[in-house]
A and B are shown apart, each in its own frame.
Chain A
Amino acid sequence: MSESHAHAGEHGHAQPLSFWWKYVFSVDHKVIGIQYMITSFLFLLLGFAMMLLMRYQLATPQPGENFDPEHLGMVRGLIAWLFGEERMPYGFMAPEFYNQLGAMHGTIMIFLGVVPLGVAAFGNFVLPLQIGAEDMAFPRLNMASYWVYFVGGVVMLSSFLAPGGAAQSGWTSYAPLSVTAPPGQTIWLIAMVLIITSSLFGAINFIVTTLNLRAKGMSLGRMPVFCWAQFVTAVLLLLAFPVLEAGAILQLLDRVAGTSFFIPKDMIYGATVFPRAGGGNPLLWQHLFWFLAHPEVYVLLLPAFGIVSEIIATNTRKPLFGYKELVGSIVFIGVLSFVVWAHHMFLSGMRTSLANLFVTTTLIISVPSVAVLTCLLLSLRGARIRFTVPMLFALAFLPMFGIGGLTGLPLGFAPTDLHLHDTFYVIGHFHYVVAPGSLVALIGATYHWFPKMFGRKMNDTLGKIHFWGTVIPMNLIFFPMLIQGMWGMQRRLADPTLQWHNLPVQGWSTVILVGSVVMMAFQIPFLFNFFWSIWNGEKVGENPWEATTLEWACPSPPPHGNFAAPPEVHRGPYEYSVPGHQVDYWPQDEAA
């Protein structure tokens, strides 16, 4: 008896699925991708809100002359009331709370925001479509991956309610401070184990899917750059995350089981010797942490490279410049990312000869990044550019990432890093690559693939408003940080005015605050646009952008099973403006 039709579009389900199995515990990669997308948007907004609080504190860390504790201003009164006397006495942030916000902002943005959006949301939705597959290799594992992420996120947020507050030793959780921190740190560690588990499930799925489920004719050399980027990212996650998990297990044991993996002998804690056997080494934590966390930043970046490649190819109507160089550089970055980690540790007291080794490897890794940027820039040359909203974001990515990358060079050189380490310069650098860099690319991806997800386009006017209202304020926020950092303003300091050398650049913090508020305001048209367009946007067909890759060769949105018949691939992914061809694009699956 055949209950399992070989029909694409059906998976042998005898009856229609209930609401729970269709939308909540769905095993369809498209539903899971959208679940990830919406959840990660929520976490991004939360992280943004935390940042706004911190910037408010940094802009006005001390009461002015006219301060009257009985009559707080509207804003200060509101946050004093919201957060209570312990966290925000009279609306000024207690240092512990500032550190909690700082640690959680970083953790949430990276692990609950940008990575799930770039890898899990867009990777899940687009990758199987672009390789011509029905779904991921392990659909149930995919579903488990989302729910473990969700639970991990809830656990992470719940740490704010722990006695003593959330984790407050930086997202980097350096020992021994993190070992002696309040219980929120333990919750952070448990949440991280859950999040890492979710990522590993996803990485296994992406790797097996990319290797095993490519359509007929889809050789590795015909895969879109986006797929290559997701594949390399999955390999980075697979190999690097377990090392952090090992470290997290050790730190958890240090906190709850009385071990001393990271506690040196006879460590002085307060007025006494910390009652542990000792013998451990705090630097071991740093090595274990950064062994993951450096590949992690490429996990943040590579999906953005993939996204920008796709958007640029579609909107320049010509093949990408240097497909082989792009893919080769992405793979090379992946490989090299494993040997640069200790450039985060130049000031840790580690052996200086080792530091020199890492300076060398760090400088080498800048080369393939430049190669990627060059290929993408050269792809614009001689093109009839379509300035669609996604293209605006993709174009903005290029110079913003350029600035971010260049500002990284003084950090890669140990001698200059001596001055810049742990200052706002570092914050400016990495935010330039992640915020006007990756996040801008991810927003572009939202506009680009929204029609495929929902069968409707987002509104262009609102999109353009969102674009300018995001990219310009981002520069107002992060460029002054480079200046403040060079002046010596330190990170993780609730009140920078306590150090007199910060006073000349304190004024920039007001600029940053204004930029942050403006940027937050301009996300409102985006959120409105997103949800409004799901039901009221302009309806589109299969291929509204007239693109060549396979995700545009199925209905919008694709049904369960994606393609009416398994596609067959006859050419590379970017056959635009082929001489002699009637139209300026030649889809991968169209017959010869």
Chain B
Amino acid sequence: MSDKQGKVVSVAEHQAAHAAHDAAHDTAHEIRIYLTIFGALILLTLATVGVAYMALPHAASIVIALLIAFAKVFLIASFFMHLMHEGRLINWSLAVCVFALLIFVLFVMPDLGVHPAEQAARLSIEEAEKVFHEAIANGGPVAGAEAHH
């Protein structure tokens, strides 16, 4: 089977290379890395819960939560899923997916997310409705107007 340059690569060779690489590095070392990452993930989880209980301004708490989540995703993907060792094909393909999702969110947010002007308009409608309902409760706008005379 040939890759882009027409060279023949066999998976047995690929895996034998990996196995030799790993043997040379000693399985214990690999396990130590996994346990270190585990520790880091625990710490990050505690951190994200801790930050959530600090009364931060809303935008800041979202940003920090997302950053910590991204860090955890990065660790799991890079070390447990071995993305660190994978070639361009897989890494770029995943980047494309994430990019496609970002496009979806970024293009739709301005349409369906709240716009400050809309928020203001909504509030003013709510206030107007409140006045209206109060007026009804007081026996109708006309009656209310008469009452004010």
A interface vs B, CB < 8 Å? Answer: 211-221, 239, 243, 281, 283-284, 287, 291, 338-339, 342, 350-351, 353-354, 357
List of A residues within 8 angstroms of B111 by Cβ = 283, 287, 342, 350-351, 354
Contact B1 A216 (CB under 8 A): yes
Q: Does B8 contact A (CB under 8 A)?
A: yes
Q: Given the known A-B contacts A291-B104, A342-B107, are A216 and B8 also in contact in the complex, defined by CB atoms under 8 Å?
A: yes
Q: Which of B3, B4, B107 contacts A354 (CB 8 A)?
A: B107
Tell me the residues in window 83-134 of chain B with beta carbons closer than 8 Å to chain A beta carbons: 89, 96-97, 100, 103-104, 107-108, 110-112
A-B contact count (CB 8 A): 50
Report the Cα distance A413→B14, complex, angstroms: 52
Q: Does B15 contact A (CB under 8 A)?
A: no
Q: Does B57 contact A (CB under 8 A)?
A: no
Q: Does B27 contact A (CB under 8 A)?
A: no
Contact B112 A283 (CB under 8 A): yes
Counting from the closest, the 10 A-B pairs by CB-CB distance are A350-B111, A351-B111, A287-B108, A216-B2, A219-B6, A354-B111, A217-B6, A281-B112, A338-B100, A219-B4
Q: Which of B6, B89, B104, B108 contacts A211 (CB 8 A)?
A: B89
User: Shortest CB–CB separation between residue A432 and chain B, in angstroms?
Assistant: 28
Contact B110 A287 (CB under 8 A): no
User: Shortest CB–CB separation between residue B93 and chain A, in angstroms?
Assistant: 9
Contact B2 A357 (CB under 8 A): no
List of B residues within 8 angstroms of A243 by Cβ = 104
Residue tally, chain B, CB below 8 Å to A: 18
Report the Cα distance A163→B5, complex, angstroms: 60
Q: Given the known A-B contacts A239-B97, A243-B104, A357-B107, are A214 and B112 also in contact in the complex, defined by CB atoms under 8 Å?
A: no
**A–B complex contacts, Cβ < 8 Å, 17 sampled:** A213-B1, A215-B1, A216-B6, A217-B6, A218-B6, A219-B5, A219-B6, A243-B104, A283-B111, A283-B112, A284-B112, A287-B108, A339-B103, A339-B107, A351-B111, A354-B107, A354-B111
Report the Cα distance A342→B107, complex, angstroms: 9
Q: Which of B1, B8, B89, B104 contacts A287 (CB 8 A)?
A: B104
List of A residues within 8 angstroms of B8 by Cβ = 216
User: Shortest CB–CB separation between residue A462 and chain B, in angstroms?
Assistant: 42
List of A residues within 8 angstroms of B2 by Cβ = 214-219
User: Shortest CB–CB separation between residue B3 and chain A, in angstroms?
Assistant: 8
List of A residues within 8 angstroms of B112 by Cβ = 281, 283-284, 287
User: Shortest CB–CB separation between residue A292 and chain B, in angstroms?
Assistant: 11
Report the Cα distance A353→B97, complex, angstroms: 25
| Nearest-neighbor residue (CB-CB) of A338 within chain B | B100
Report the Cα distance A354→B110, complex, angstroms: 8
Report the Cα distance A587→B4, complex, angstroms: 20
Report the Cα distance A211→B87, complex, angstroms: 14
List of A residues within 8 angstroms of B3 by Cβ = 219
Q: Given the known A-B contacts A217-B6, A284-B112, A338-B100, are A212 and B1 also in contact in the complex, defined by CB atoms under 8 Å?
A: yes
Contact A220 B4 (CB under 8 A): yes
B interface vs A, CB < 8 Å? Answer: 1-6, 8, 89, 96-97, 100, 103-104, 107-108, 110-112
Report the Cα distance A214→B6, complex, angstroms: 10
Dominant SS at the A interface? helix
Q: Given the known A-B contacts A239-B97, A339-B103, are A353 and B110 also in contact in the complex, defined by CB atoms under 8 Å?
A: yes
User: Shortest CB–CB separation between residue B75 and chain A, in angstroms?
Assistant: 25
A sample of 9 more A-B contacts (CB under 8 A), given A353-B110, A354-B107, is A212-B1, A216-B1, A216-B8, A219-B2, A219-B3, A239-B96, A239-B100, A339-B103, A339-B107
Report the Cα distance A342→B109, complex, angstroms: 13
| Nearest-neighbor residue (CB-CB) of A284 within chain B | B112
Report the Cα distance A281→B3, complex, angstroms: 48
User: Shortest CB–CB separation between residue A434 and chain B, in angstroms?
Assistant: 24
Report the Cα distance A283→B108, complex, angstroms: 10
List of A residues within 8 angstroms of B89 by Cβ = 211
Report the Cα distance A216→B3, complex, angstroms: 8
User: Shortest CB–CB separation between residue B71 and chain A, in angstroms?
Assistant: 25
List of A residues within 8 angstroms of B97 by Cβ = 239
List of A residues within 8 angstroms of B5 by Cβ = 219
Report the Cα distance A125→B108, complex, angstroms: 39
Report the Cα distance A280→B6, complex, angstroms: 53
User: Shortest CB–CB separation between residue A224 and chain B, in angstroms?
Assistant: 16
Report the Cα distance A4→B5, complex, angstroms: 31
List of B residues within 8 angstroms of A354 by Cβ = 107, 110-111
| Nearest-neighbor residue (CB-CB) of B101 within chain A | A243
User: Shortest CB–CB separation between residue A573 and chain B, in angstroms?
Assistant: 15
Q: Given the known A-B contacts A211-B89, A219-B6, A338-B100, are A351 and B1 also in contact in the complex, defined by CB atoms under 8 Å?
A: no
Contact A351 B110 (CB under 8 A): yes
Report the Cα distance A353→B104, complex, angstroms: 16
User: Shortest CB–CB separation between residue A202 and chain B, in angstroms?
Assistant: 18
List of B residues within 8 angstroms of A211 by Cβ = 89
List of A residues within 8 angstroms of B100 by Cβ = 239, 338
Report the Cα distance A239→B96, complex, angstroms: 9
Report the Cα distance A433→B86, complex, angstroms: 40
List of A residues within 8 angstroms of B4 by Cβ = 219-221
| Nearest-neighbor residue (CB-CB) of B3 within chain A | A219
User: Shortest CB–CB separation between residue B72 and chain A, in angstroms?
Assistant: 23
Report the Cα distance A220→B6, complex, angstroms: 9
Report the Cα distance A333→B129, complex, angstroms: 50
